[in-house]
Structure 1
């Protein structure tokens, strides 16, 4: 019996007619010290650590999605996303920086209660992190047209109220360091997208909320939550 699978998500790229096809999604954990502290952890400064999200669970900015099942504590996490544009493996920091194709705003939506429950049992975070509609991506901007300078602000508002407000200076592991380290474990390739972590101020959202995020110089991102299905 034949089955019809959904097409891979394609993320618009500013100024280009060809979108960026989403393949794998890697996420950096606890990459802002203040966020790690608010979650009750110290930063591991020996090396970054990662979790993944499924590309099939991703949506584009502007979507209206249902409040997810199985949670009473659904959180927003605003992030800078980095799209890989060439194959790299065991890359130096210089090679890693050269592999960046584009940047964009992203949301890592999280069933926090399930994440914490599984973490406390030393189990994987999948139920908390890899949920349907749990990765949201805004339009990308070419690396030739934008750079992740330390003074760029990253901001997330819920219904117009600012929840997260930081600068990229607070990133513990910088973009080239992340790509260089991750490429020691994966053959990174076009289609791979890295979510680089969230600043402090994460918190719960409810059905009916509208989320809006910005990073200076990038296209903004938005998400609306409807009632649970």
Structure 2
């Protein structure tokens, strides 16, 4: 092999190596670029998925809030409707709206003292609206708004605080109402005048007349109790 031929062969070999090296570098670079692209695409998709999941969570939370808010509004509206129904019932028939346990005590004590149940129930409705904790402006106590000195006058020996107990209050209040009923000869308006103003009251007072009107309205709302109404029904109060 001549020197020229050897040089040419060396150049060709070197050129081939350079070409091969360049191709390898180009291939490696292409692979790196492809890998970088797929890595970036994967990251982009992951972010997109996270964003979608976050939006889904937000939508779910908002939906949950709306459902809870709607349920709260519905419950509140139903509560108000129920309250309105109770108020309407209490206004048209306060005795029917009263707790059953209290009505039973009133019935028992009224019958034991010879007082018409309807009259007794009407008095409790007017005096306290069936609230055992009521205190009157002049110191009247509990369901029947009987005064502590009055209760003691007819035999009560307990404390003023104990007079708030429903059964105790009704027992002594009913005794006083029975006395008024007897002194009035069974007349409704005279009975309530004596219960309100004292047993010594003569005839029907101005306040007694108003009280009597309320009592008649309440008694009229208790048709089931009508047979028990043993009052002297003189509608026109006497002076």
Q: Quickly name the TM-score band, shorter chain normalised.
A: under 0.3
- Greater fraction of residues in strand: 1
Higher relative contact order structure (alpha carbons within 8 Å, sequence separation ≥ 6): 1
TM-score (norm 2): 0.26
Which protein shows a greater Rg?
A: 2
The alignment's TM-score, normalised by the length of structure 1, stands at 0.27
